[in-house]
A and B are shown apart, each in its own frame.
Chain A
Amino acid sequence: MHFVLLVHGASPAAGVAIRLHDPSDATTLRRVDGGLTITDGPFAELPEPITGFERIEAADLDAAIAVAARHPAAAAGTVEVREIRADSAADDEPAPTPAPGTRRYLFLHTNPTDRTALARTADEPPSDWFTSEHTRRAVLEGERLRPAGATTAATVRLRDGDALIAHGPYAELAEEVAGYDLVAVVDLDEAIALARPHPTLVVGAIEIRPLWTT
């Protein structure tokens, strides 16, 4: 099975595969009254902002939790474990390498936790975002996550050598992270243009977070 580790707090995120810039460097897109609204900041002000990201393989949720508990970030912050959907978009094609002159961003897709709001997406025609040439060139990898529940998600903290584990979502919020894309584009405007037609925006938001370049 595949899981995503979202590192909260622990800034700069210690030992994490993908380190993100500060949440104040984030930009969030929403669709309001048919038009695109761009705002400064993350999709929500979390008590511990998301600072890092990693993708792992594990036999099951408990195994993933064990990996998270050993992660350096667990001692400094909180590691959120989320299961990737088995039917997620990942295919067998090798991931494209970032084109020269591009910088990488993480798209965090959010969905409302309120199921009735989410149901509005059922009537939307299928989007060609996933098959467009532009997407193929710019998106390095991307996955959809299972909604956070007791059997699909957990939060892990390491305090004084004790692993504090809670099953379920990171917090009770109006929106949760529902998927991600790692993209390589020239600048923020291109990232926004890439995200603009994505179906997430029917009911959710897309947070665009720049990666630390080392």
Chain B
Amino acid sequence: MKLEKYKSDSQVNFFFINSHQTRLFNKRDLIYKVGDKISELYVILDGEVESLINKKSKGTIKTLKKGSVLGLMDTILNREYSKNMVAKSKVSLAIIDKKRFVEKLYSNPFQFSLIKSLAIDVDIEKPNIWS
């Protein structure tokens, strides 16, 4: 069973369907910071976002582009935001309510446990990269 056939539809649709609002950020605006309690996830609709470990960090860990989901890893692993997310350019983000997202996750406990195991593996393989 190849994964490719699932990619085009599923990858984007679910997150957009669950979003009811968008928000604009100007260049260098802080989207969220390390340690903040998660209330929302964000999908990049347009523009770029930089992921930084802390405010003083000079090196960018990641530059995230259209389609990336901010806060996904932190939500699945049930932790606070683990990175600072800063708008690298003017950015348009779709907002996903964390509570609704988590309800969907927990709707099937076995599937959720597989997703969580996958998230843990990814987080171990690439520590300190994803938020």
The judgment on whether A and B are partners is: no
